[in-house]
């Protein structure tokens, strides 16, 4: 009888732990369209849809760009709160002297947080 009770308590604990982690993960994961080939941290990202996941460390973040289950790029960036929520996802580019586009920042619909890439 004790084993069943401990097993039931353990299962409940795991379910609650997983359920509490899901909203936090969903908040730091978005799908973004990169409209044109661009360079970020020395890696060329072809145009397309990317799953972007980040883990915040105060005002810094570790960011992953993935297609399907494959991580294409992992890099660091600044995490800024601009104080106003954006209406749509937006990728902001710099055009370098050689004509290459590089990603400067990524803004997310419904959020005032911005991922800023300072290279």
pLDDT at 114: 96
Residue 42 lies in a domain: yes
pLDDT digits (tens, 9 = 90+) for 1-31: 566 554 454 444 433 333 444 333 445 899 9
What is the model's pTM? 0.74
Residue 8 lies in a domain: no
pLDDT at 12: 40
Residue 18 lies in a domain: no
Query: Among residues 85, 74, 75, which one has the least CA distance to residue 107?
Result: 85
pLDDT at 7: 44
Residue 9 lies in a domain: no
Which residue range is the domain that position 88 belongs to? 30-116
Residue 17 lies in a domain: no
Measuring CA to CA, how many Å separate 78 from each of 2, 7, 15, 21, 22? 50, 43, 33, 23, 24
Residue 68 lies in a domain: yes
Q: What domain count does the chain have?
A: 1
Residue 76 lies in a domain: yes
pLDDT digits (tens, 9 = 90+) for 54-95: 999 889 999 999 999 999 999 999 999 999 999 999 999 999
* Residue 108 φ then ψ, to 5°: -120, 140
Residue 47 lies in a domain: yes
Which of the two residues, 52 and 28, has the higher pLDDT score? 52
Query: Among residues 32, 38, 36, which one has the least CA distance to residue 54?
Result: 32
């Amino acid at each position: 009888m004790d084993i069943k009770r401990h097993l039931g308590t353990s299962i409940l604990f795991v379910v609650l732990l997983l359920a509490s982690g899901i909203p936090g993960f969903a908040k730091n994961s978005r799908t973004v369209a990169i409209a044109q080939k661009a360079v970020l941290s020395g890696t060329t990202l072809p145009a397309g849809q990317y799953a972007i996941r980040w883990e915040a460390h105060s005002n810094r973040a570790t960011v992953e760009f993935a297609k399907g289950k494959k991580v294409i790029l992992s890099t660091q960036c600044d995490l800024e709160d601009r104080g106003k929520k954006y209406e749509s996802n937006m990728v902001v580019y710099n055009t370098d002297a050689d004509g290459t586009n590089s990603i400067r920042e990524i803004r997310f619909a419904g959020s005032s947080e911005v991922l800023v890439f300072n290279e």
